[in-house]
Amino acid sequence: MDVRDGVRCCLEKEVCIVDESALDTESESEEYEESHILRTQVTTQTNDFILSHWPFENDAARNAYLDRDLAGLACLCFPFALDERIHLIARLFSIVYLLGEIISELDDDDAEECLGSLKQAVKGYWANRTQAEVWMLCDLFDEIRSHEYLMVDDIIEATWKYLGLRTVRRGRQTKREDRPPGFHGAFVEAGVLLPLHRFATGHMVDEEEFNYANPRLLSGNVGS
């Protein structure tokens, strides 16, 4: 078996696990077996970190975030992620989702300014660490970079695309046919999942192989 066949075999195993997550399960323990083995630990650590630092407006906003179970979704999407990386992916799901929610509430000019400020901050042009939304994102990308220097730029660019979609779609939410997809679906549309898969597994799989092996993941229905 050559390297390409080996990577494809690994990917096919991963999509089988994700596909099975759509089935009704008899118990919570069975559901957890179909996601990353560290799901409970990762979920607790991620939520504790977010709740400790993110400036939620009120308890309702905190509860809405928790109800999303974004760390759990990350573990469902990447059940074979390296143990030392899955918590970073779960944190990225959470932070990027929350930033998208902020941007979706801003008017056009403010949304573009917010996105521009985030881009400058990630490039290193930000000295003020009093804004948690900013330093949490910057620190996250720095941690990802410490694991995979060559992969982080693709993750960052896909993140900007996702946040840009939140900006573009904001004014069209009242039209039924133009309602934005769910968070996972928007991640698929923005192309976030391929660079995250590469980071999660450490394999530089190409787009064709990734798409072939992950129809369920790319359907946007994982965890729904």
Q: What would the two tokens of residue 14 be?
A: 């991963």
Residues 118, 138: Cα–Cα separation, whole Å: 9
Task: Collect all residues with Cβ–Cβ distance below 8 Å to 123 and sequence separation of at least 6.
Answer: none
Whether the Cβ atoms of residue 125 and residue 134 lie closer than 8 Å to each other: no
CB atoms within 10 A of CB 213: 22
- Per-residue pLDDT at 195: 95
Topology given in CATH for the domain delimited by 38-169+180-218: Farnesyl Diphosphate Synthase (1.10.600)
pLDDT tens digits in sequence order for the chain, 224 residues long: 444 454 444 444 444 444 443 333 333 434 434 799 999 999 999 999 999 999 999 999 999 999 999 999 999 999 999 999 999 999 999 999 999 999 989 988 899 999 999 999 999 877 567 899 999 999 999 999 999 998 999 999 999 999 998 876 555 543 434 444 678 888 888 999 999 999 999 999 888 888 888 887 877 667 65
Q: Which of 21, 144, 8 has the alpha carbon at shortest distance from 78?
A: 21
Please state the domain extents for the chain.
38-169+180-218
Residues 178, 59: Cα–Cα separation, whole Å: 30
Residues 174, 109: Cα–Cα separation, whole Å: 20
State the burial class of residue 31 (Cβ atoms within 10 Å of its Cβ: 0-12, 13-18, 19+): middle
